Structure 1
Amino acid sequence: MLAAGLLHGAPSPAQAQGLPNLGDTEREELSPVMERKLGEQIMRQIKRNRDYLDDMPVQEYLNDLGNNLLSTRPEARGEAQYDFFFFAVRDPMLNAFALPGGFIGVHSGLVLAAQNESELASVMAHEIGHVAQRHIARMLGKQRQDMLIPLAGMILGALAASSSPDAGIGIMMGSQGLAMQRQLNFSREAEREADRIGLDILRDAGYETTGMINFFGRLQQATRGYNDTMPAYLRSHPLTSERIADIEARTRDLRYRQRADGLDLPVIQARMRVLQANSGQGLVEAEQAFRRQVQQNTRTSLVAGNYGLAMVALRQGDTAKAQTYIDAARTVLKDGAPKKGNLALTSLAIEVRLAARQTQEAVAEAEVARKQFPISRGIVRQYADALLAAGRTDDAVNFLRDQTAIYRSEPELFDRLAKGYAEQGRQALQHMALAEGYALRGSLPAALDQLSIARRAPDASFYDQSIIDAREREFKERRLEELKQEKEGL
């Protein structure tokens, strides 16, 4: 059902009844700050799901695209100035969804179906529209005199939707009971509003507004038979034809703008095709598709096709063949005299070097990449991995200490720092770093366990003990607050 349109956030929890009144009957159930906290809690659950694509090149591409859209409309971040996070889930369905507080997910099938960047951007702009208009908080206002679902129902619905939209909406329906009809009516209004906001964002960011019309048209074709058999009152999104007509009316007088895409989307699509393949047959089919792509002999098809073949070879453990394909893609890039390199291709080159145990080459690749892509967090992690793999433990630890001091919200950095401390034999610091990683992932009991181990470590200094005491107090307070919220809400 949800593949016919775009899935936006699920309803919010019953415990929100005790939150501050903001003076608006449609917003008093959920403040922007609590909306963000709720989104973070749901994301911690989603990240544990096997279909969550924890892949840095994909994440960085989606977040670069999303933040480019937001840069033209900073007010879309709302009064709480949400730091949006865009992510992907492994699912062939054409779908996307927004969660509370600025978290936006897209299905891998949707990314693969996009024929250009404007089409993908149109979907993401639509979801930004949902968040900007705070549709989830407003939905709570609509529900207040009906029923409110518990947090568990919301999380289960979001998780199920990441792998099966039908299952997701089924869980949400079971949680809502008699409030469903009112909620769906509101949802239709929200979808139109998100379309309007998204179209404005798309236009201002320099993308083709026809991208939204074209993509919705293909959605309509792909789901026509499915929609025709669906009861109207269960359609949580307006008919695609209605939305297309509305968008066409809004764009009729706009000047047509053609946008030349780069290589980023085709390369990410190649990567995602391999990541989505969950069987040997799927990998074989992906390889065949990449070979056909290379045969097209255009600059884009040569780079993306060779990239995909390198991904397949790496998945099969043939690092020499993977390196050959990477070299072929890089040759095409060089001949095309690009203004900048391709982040995903550069990242894959480092990945192949590490897999081949060519550690010195991996360090050299990563050092060049850090200068070429100075804000890439994925390259930072790969540089640390290369230093550790090359036995340059002290350099890795010093680098990671600096990184964790600046970027304290990345548990992956603390994991690598813990590995470095372990290789140095610094037990207390190892377990303190592990504690930080667990805490950032929301696993406070595990974080407290690691602090207890660190406290008993023979090399724990007086200074270490002081830090352990402070962090332990903070984690315990946060854990008590969590237990209180669980008790009140569930």
Structure 2
Amino acid sequence: MPIRSRIRAALATLLISGPMLVQPLAAQSLPNVGAGLPNLGGTEREELSPAMERRLGEQIMRDLRQDPDYLDDAPTLEYLNNFGNTLVSARPEVRGDASFDFFFFAVRDGSLNAFALPGGFIGVHSGLLLAAQNESELASVLAHEIGHVAQRHIARMLGAQRQDMLVPLASLLLGALAARSSPDVAMASVMGGQGLAIQRQLNFSRDAEREADRVGLQILDAGAYDTSGMVAFFGRLQTATRNYGEGIPAYLQSHPLTTERIADIQARIRQQRYHQHADNIDFYLIRARVRVLQNDNPQGWRDAAKIFETELAPKTRVQTAAAKYGLALIALRQGDAARAQSLLDEARAAALKDAEPLASLGVEIRLAANQTDAALKQSAAAREAFPLSRDIASQYADALIAAGKIDEAVRYLRDQSQLYREDARVQQRLAKAYATQGKQALQHLALAESYAIKGSLPAALDQLQIARRAPDASFYDQSIIDARERELKAQRLEEMKQNKEGKNKP
């Protein structure tokens, strides 16, 4: 068996709505968060520092973004982060002393699951997004995972280990995300001595799960979501777990979704006021989008189209709009821009109002059809309607480049790079615009920044060397290259030093 498969299998149980922890954890004291929760251990225990926790999470994410199952889709990421950070804003204290910036993302996986990674990174399976029947149910799962981060369960779990183990552990954590493809292999590897030790080390305790539930309920209540959504969704998870029978995957076997836990949630809900939450149409549109992208191939499109056809009659206007939107996306995937546009028009008519995913797909269709003037006009209008959308902003830059307005695109992207310094896509688009202008030095400088943002320091340094040798590199450009090279080399040396120290320590 390849070592990568063994690593993936050994950590299958990390994929969580909530695994178990063998050793009790120390509960973190956050103002007004977790009041009345069980004390999971002494606060004097060593824990992973917030800075190290965040760095570990960033390292995992750098590798995870290269995985083909990472759903790198701008509208989906836009919705999840808007939605997730709205939950965080309802209880700002969940950021803790570290003031974590939460990041929400999706992976292609048909199972009902979500998981938290160190430092505020929260992943959702595509199957969970499709199974959630309303925003309150989705909110209940995300709020639960936010609870794990807020109470720093992972940090406290890893803190008992030597910090010099964190670099190899990051690659092990990443490996867990792919274990779902082969449960039999996973079980075989988990039975190994080292694999079993790691599995036990990375499980959450039942107490930690209940703590995350209770923090999650506080977030739902503060955000005016229907807290009964947590019971409904976790009940469905419990049913799904029973349906696996004897062949239940390891990560579900260790999932402490007990009747006692659900009863505890129900008891707390009775003490809270009821909120009737009105779902945003974006929720239904993104679910339709994820259904298409979950199996992004001709057979997957046909299967999704059948589901959308059944949802057309008789359904609500919102459901009709979502189904038409999904069919429009399928038509675009099949290369039929005209049909995609017709279906999108029908979706907009059913929705009665525009929504960000509808506007985004409209621009996507125009760009695919090489209708550059229409794409530029629509993206400009969408930018006015949704000024905070990074997806729409990116499409506007694409439309400027496609329309040949390169100088304007460069000015716009430079402004965007100042607003979103950690967005590699802005730098990639800037590199494309510079390439169109024939500015080689600036093109490779922008590419270097995009690689640096993604954590690929060797590739970033290579791009700086190419920029240095560019025939149009000015004295000013050379000064920027020199300064940036010193910064990245220092960062690279520090990483190599930490890795070496980690390997040499007993």
TM-score by length of 2: 0.87
Which residues of 2 match residues 348-427 of structure 1 at below 5 A? 348-427=361-440
Q: CA deviation at 1:29?
A: 4.2
Partner in structure 1 of residue 3 of structure 2: none
Do residues 246 (structure 1) and 264 (structure 2) align?
yes
1:446 to 2:462 alignment: no
Structure 1: which 5+ residue stretches go unaligned?
12-22
User: What is the deviation of 1:183?
Assistant: 5.7
What is the alpha-carbon root mean square deviation over aligned residues?
A: 2.7
Where does 1:221-260 land on structure 2 (aligned, <5 Å)? 221-226=239-244, 235-260=253-278
Residue 461 in structure 1 maps to residue 479 in structure 2:
no
Q: How far apart in 2 are the matches of 1:158 and 1:124?
A: 20
Q: Name the counterpart of 2:171.
A: 155
Aligned to 1:281: 299
Letter in 2 for 1:405: Q
User: C-alpha displacement at 1:363, in angstroms?
Assistant: 0.4
- Compute the displacement of 1:265 (Å): 1.1
**SS of 2:329's equivalent?**
helix
Report the alpha carbon displacement of residue 94 of structure 1 after superposing the two structures with TM: 0.6
SS in 2 for 1:295: coil
How far did 1:438 drift?
0.8
Counterpart residue number, 1:265: 283
Aligned pair in 2 of structure 1 residues 461, 157: CA closer, same or farther (>3 Å)? same
Offset, 1:433: 0.6
Post-superposition offset of 1:232: 11
Once the two structures are TM-superposed, the CA of residue 257 in structure 1 deviates from its matched residue by 2.4
- When residues 293 and 475 of structure 1 are mapped into structure 2, their CA distance, relative to the original with a 3 A threshold, is same
Q: What per-residue deviation string (whole Å, max 9, x for no partner) do you get for residues 333-364 of structure 1? A: 33xxx4xx311111111000000000110000
> Alignment partner for residue 6 of structure 1, among 8, 11, 17?
17
| Displacement of 1:163 | 5.9
227, 237, 246: which is aligned to 1:219? 237
Which is further off, 239-248 or 285-294? Answer: 239-248
Which residue does 1:18 correspond to in 2?
A: none
Structure 2 CA distance for partners of 1:94 and 1:170, relative to 1, 3 Å: farther
Partner of 2:8: none
1:181-192 mapped onto 2 (5 Å cutoff): 181=200, 184=203, 187-192=205-210
Cα distance in 2 between the residues matched to 1:217 and 1:142: 34
AA aligned to 1:61 is: Y
Greater shift in the superposed pair: 430-439 or 167-176:
167-176
Match of 1:344 in 2: 357
Report the CA distance between 1:256 and its aligned residue.
2.8
Change over 3 Å in CA distance of 1:8–1:32 after alignment to 2? farther
Q: Which residue of 2 aligns with 1:330?
A: 348
**Which position in structure 1 is the counterpart of 2:335?**
317
How many Å apart are 1:283 and its aligned residue?
1.1
Paired AA for residue 413 in structure 2: L
Return the alpha-carbon distance in structure 1 between the equivalents of residues 175 and 377 of structure 2.
40
- 1:52-131 correspondence to structure 2 within 5 Å: 52-131=70-149
CA contact (8 A) 1:191 1:237 kept: no
Distance in 2 (CA, whole Å) between partners of 1:80 and 1:454 is 37
Letter in 2 for 1:119: E
Q: Which moved more, 1:234-243 or 1:475-484?
A: 234-243
User: How many residues are treated as equivalent by the alignment?
Assistant: 470
Q: Deviations over 1:101-138 (max 9, x none)?
A: 00000000000000110000000000000000000111
The one-letter code of the counterpart of 2:288 is A
Range that drifts further, 168-177 or 154-163: 168-177
Per-residue displacement from partner, 1:183-206 (whole Å, max 9, x unpaired)?
64x522211110111111111101
C-alpha contact (below 8 Å) 2:311/2:319 kept by paired residues:
yes
Q: Which residue of 2 aligns with 1:291?
A: 309
Q: Distance in 2 between matches of 1:445 and 1:9?
A: 38
Measure how far apart 1:56 and its partner are.
Answer: 1.1
Q: Report the counterpart of residue 301 of structure 1 in structure 2.
A: 319
Shift of the alpha carbon at 1:182?
A: 6.7
Q: Which has the higher contact order (CA 8 A, sep 6+)?
A: 2
Distance, in Å, in 2 between the alignment partners of 1:179 and 1:25 is 24
Q: Give per-residue Cα distances to partners, 1:406-458, cap 9 Å, x unaligned.
A: 22111101111111111111111111111101111111111111111111111
CA-to-partner distance for each residue in 1:154-209, whole Å, 9 max, x for gaps?
4333343256185779878865644755764x522211110111111111101001
Distance 1:148 1:300, change over 3 A: same
